[in-house]
Amino acid sequence: VVVSAMRGVNAEVTNPMVLEQIIAGMGEPLYGKEPPTGYPNTGDAWVSSSGLVSRMQFAQRLAGGRLPGVQVDWTSLTADGPAGLAAQLLHEPLSPATQGVVDTIPAQRTQEWAALVMGGPQFQKR
């Protein structure tokens, strides 16, 4: 999810160690899986209360500009509103449930709805 988010928002990363620490904190430290097959790519391997909270906290930190060494041009990404951000990150429209939540957030609070899109189930399943 961390790498997908970085790619999806066209982040400029000048300090990858911050991202490495986040990934390790999510239970998948780099080079920590001894079998050559790597970490499983299925939800049952990482879906848990703490795993989901970690992913949402990451999305909030990224959307809030609170990741040292990571720069994102949120102005261009959020110019077309949540629908434009969803197209960029999800390559599909927001689900009705996510759209309903995003619609409750005032338009000027782009960081909040950006975090919801990245921390939401549609982005998690990608």
Q: pLDDT tens digit string along 84-104?
A: 888 888 989 889 988 888 889
Q: What is the pTM of this model?
A: 0.85
pLDDT grade, residue 62 (50/70/90)? very high
Which pLDDT does position 34 carry in this prediction? 79
**Residue 76, CA distances (Å) to 36, 42, 53, 107 in order:** 39, 32, 27, 14
Which pLDDT does position 19 carry in this prediction? 96
Across the strands, what pairs with 71? 12
**Measuring CA to CA, which residue among 115, 124, 104 is closest to residue 78?**
115
Quote the CA–CA distance of 87 and 53 in Å, as a whole number. Answer: 24
User: Per the structure block, which two tokens stand in for 46?
Assistant: 């990482």
Which pLDDT does position 72 carry in this prediction? 95
pLDDT grade, residue 82 (50/70/90)? confident
Average pLDDT, the chain: 87
pLDDT grade, residue 122 (50/70/90)? confident
Asked if residue 27 lies in contact with residue 86, where contact means CB atoms within 8 angstroms, the answer is no
User: Per the structure block, which two tokens stand in for 101?
Assistant: 């939540």
H or E element, residue 13: strand 12-13
45, 47, 53, 57: CA torsion to nearest 10: 60
